[in-house]
Structure 1
Amino acid sequence: MARLAAFDMDGTLLMPDHRLGDQTLATLRRLYEREITLAFATGRHALEMQWILNNIGLDAFLITGNGTRIHSMEGEVLYRQDLNPEVAEIVLHSKWDTQASIHVFNDSGWLTDKALPGPLQAHVYSGFRYRLADLKRLPAHDVTKICFLGDHDDLCRLRIQLNEVLGARAHLCFSAMDCLEVLPMGCNKGSALAVLSTTLGYTLQECMAFGDAMNDREMLESVGYGMIMGNAMPQLRAALPNLPVIGHCQNQAVSHFLTHWLDTPNLPYSPE
C-alpha cells in the first residue's frame, strides 16, 4: 500500500491546456481522505505551485524547480539547493551556438531577457509570469536553475556544448521536448523525494509516482510504484521499459488509474 503519492504536473496531472481536470481534483481529494500523503513534484516554481494549492484547496508537499526546493504543507522550506555560482556564471556569460531562449529561476521568481508570449501559455491557469531582466547582470549566487526553451534538435546540440564545458558540475535534463534545464549536480525529483520520504518516515518503496518526461526518470525508477504516462517522451519509456504505462493526460489518466487502484485493486488494470 502506497503511503505517499508524488505527481508531476505538465503532461501528467495537467491536461494539454495546462489545467487540472475535475476528475483529477476529485481523485486527489479521495487520496487525501484515505490519509495518503500528496506531493507535487514539478519543474514549476514554488510561488506558482503555492498559488495552485491555495486555489484548489488541497494540502500537499511541494517539490519544485525539479528538486531544487522542498516545501512543507505549511509553506516552510524543508530543503534547498542552488546552482554553483561558477556554473551559473559560465552559463549566463558564455556564447552558446543556439537559437533557444534562456530563462533563470530563483526564489524571487522567473526572469528572462526577451518578451516571448509562447512560454506564458503553460501558465494560463495560475497567471504566473516572467520578469524581464538583464541576465548578465544577475548575481551568480542568486540562481537556482537555468532553462533553455527551443527546438528539440537545437537543444540536443546545446546539451553537447554544455556538457563539454560544465562536465560533472551540473545536471542537465529535458523536462519537455522543448525545455533543457541546467540544475545543481545531484539535484532531481528522485533525490528530493528521497529526502521528503525520509523526513516523513516513509521508505521509497511506500511511494507512488507519475511522470512523463526525462526529469521524472530518477523519481519513477526509485519508488515502489512508478507509472509512466501514455503521452510520455519516447526517451523516458525507452529508459524505463519495465514500468507500467497508463493513459494520456488529455483523458485524465492519473485519475483513471487511481480510481481503479482505490476501488478494484485486485483486478488487472487496463488504460482507458
Structure 2
Amino acid sequence: MPVLFVSDLDGTLLQEDHSLAAETIAAIRNLHDAGRTFAIATGRHHTDVADLAKKIDRPIGMISCNGGMAIAPNGDIIASAYIPDSITQDLVHHPMPEGVFLNMYTDYNWYATETNPKLEAYSEKAGFKCELVTPQFIQDKRAVKFFLWGDRNGLLALQAELKTKYKGQLDCLFSLPHCLELMPKGISKATAVDALCKHLNLTATHVMAFGDGENDIEMLQYAAHPKVMLNAAESVKAAVPHAEIIGHAHQLGVANYLSTAILANLDQAS
C-alpha cells in the first residue's frame, strides 16, 4: 500500500472552476488521519495555492513551480532550483510572438512584462498577484521558472526555438495547451517528489501519483503507482502506458479513487 500520495492540481485534483471540492478535502483529511501523507505537485507558485492548502487543514507536502521548489509537510523548504542567470537575462528581452505573454516566478513574486485581460482576471481572483514590470527590472532576479502563455501556434514555434537555443540548459514543456513552462534542465515534479521521499525516508515504491499534463509525465514515471486522469492528454497516456486511468478530474476522479480504492481498503485492514 502506498504511503505518499502526490497529486497535480489543475486538470487533476481541482474542479472545472479550479476549486477544491468538499469531497476532495474530506478524502485528503481521511488519508492523513489514517497515517498517510498527501502532497500537492503543481506548476503554480506555492504562494498561489496557499489558500487551497489551508482548506485541507492538515499538514501536506507542497511541490511548486513544476519542481522548482519542494516544501515538506512541516513547512521546511527541502529543495529549490533556479534558471541560470545568463538565460534569465536573455529570456526577459526575447521577442514574444503575437498573443504570447512572458511570466516569471521568483521565490516570492510573480512578474509579467506585458498584461492582457485574461492575465488580469486570473491575478484578480488569485491570492497571488502579478506585478507588471519592465524587462530591465527582472533581468537580474533569480527565476524559479518562466511560463509563457497565450496563442497555441505561437507557443509551439517558440518551444521549438527555445529547445534548440537552450539545449541541455532548459526543459520546455506544456502544462496546458496554452501554457509553456521553462524549467532548469533536469528539474521536474519527479525530482521534487524524490527530494520529498528522501526527507520522509521513503522511496518511489511508496508513491502514488495523480496527473494529467505533460509536466506530470516524469512524476508519473517515477511513482510506483501512477494514476492518469481520464481527461489527460493522449501524450501523457502514451508516455505512461502502465498507469491506471481513473475518473475525470471534474467529476471528483481523485477523491473517488482515494475513497473507494484506498480508504475503503484501509478501513477493512483495520
TM-score interval (norm. to shorter): over 0.9
Task: Tell me how far 1:225 sits from its aligned partner.
Answer: 0.6
Contact 1:84 1:141 in 2 (8 A): no
The change in CA–CA distance for 1:236 and 1:123 in structure 2 (over 3 A counts) is farther
1:269 is matched with: none
Query: How is 1:1-272 mapped onto 2 (pairs within 5 angstroms)?
Result: 1-119=1-119, 126-265=126-265
Secondary structure of the corresponding residue to residue 28 of structure 1: helix
Counterpart-to-counterpart distance in 2, 1:222 and 1:48 = 26
Secondary structure of the corresponding residue to residue 193 of structure 1: helix
Counterpart-to-counterpart distance in 1, 2:263 and 2:57 = 24
Secondary structure of the corresponding residue to residue 67 of structure 2: coil
The change in CA–CA distance for 1:120 and 1:37 in structure 2 (over 3 A counts) is farther
Counterpart-to-counterpart distance in 1, 2:27 and 2:106 = 32
The two structures have a TM-score, normalised by structure 2, of 0.92
Gapped regions of structure 1 (runs ≥ 5): 267-272
Identical amino acids, percent of aligned pairs: 27
Counterpart-to-counterpart distance in 1, 2:42 and 2:191 = 13
The change in CA–CA distance for 1:239 and 1:152 in structure 2 (over 3 A counts) is farther
Counterpart-to-counterpart distance in 2, 1:220 and 1:98 = 34
Task: Tell me how far 1:235 sits from its aligned partner.
Answer: 1.5
Contact 2:246 2:253 in 1 (8 A): yes
Aligned residues: 266
Contact 2:31 2:263 in 1 (8 A): no
Task: Tell me how far 1:265 sits from its aligned partner.
Answer: 4.6
Deviations 1:67-89 (A, max 9, x none): 00011223221111110111112
Task: Tell me how far 1:259 sits from its aligned partner.
Answer: 1.1
The change in CA–CA distance for 1:160 and 1:123 in structure 2 (over 3 A counts) is same
2:190 corresponds to which letter in structure 1?
A: G
Contact 2:105 2:144 in 1 (8 A): yes
Secondary structure of the corresponding residue to residue 18 of structure 1: coil
Contact 1:45 1:65 in 2 (8 A): yes
Secondary structure of the corresponding residue to residue 75 of structure 2: coil
The change in CA–CA distance for 1:117 and 1:35 in structure 2 (over 3 A counts) is farther
Counterpart-to-counterpart distance in 1, 2:191 and 2:98 = 30
Deviations 1:4-60 (A, max 9, x none): 000101111111100011111110111001111111111111112233222431210
Counterpart-to-counterpart distance in 2, 1:48 and 1:137 = 22
Secondary structure of the corresponding residue to residue 148 of structure 2: strand
- CA-based RMSD of the aligned residues comes to 1.9
Contact 2:220 2:227 in 1 (8 A): yes
The two structures have a TM-score, normalised by structure 1, of 0.91
Runs (4+) of structure 1 exceeding 6 A deviation are none
Task: Tell me how far 1:96 sits from its aligned partner.
Answer: 4.3
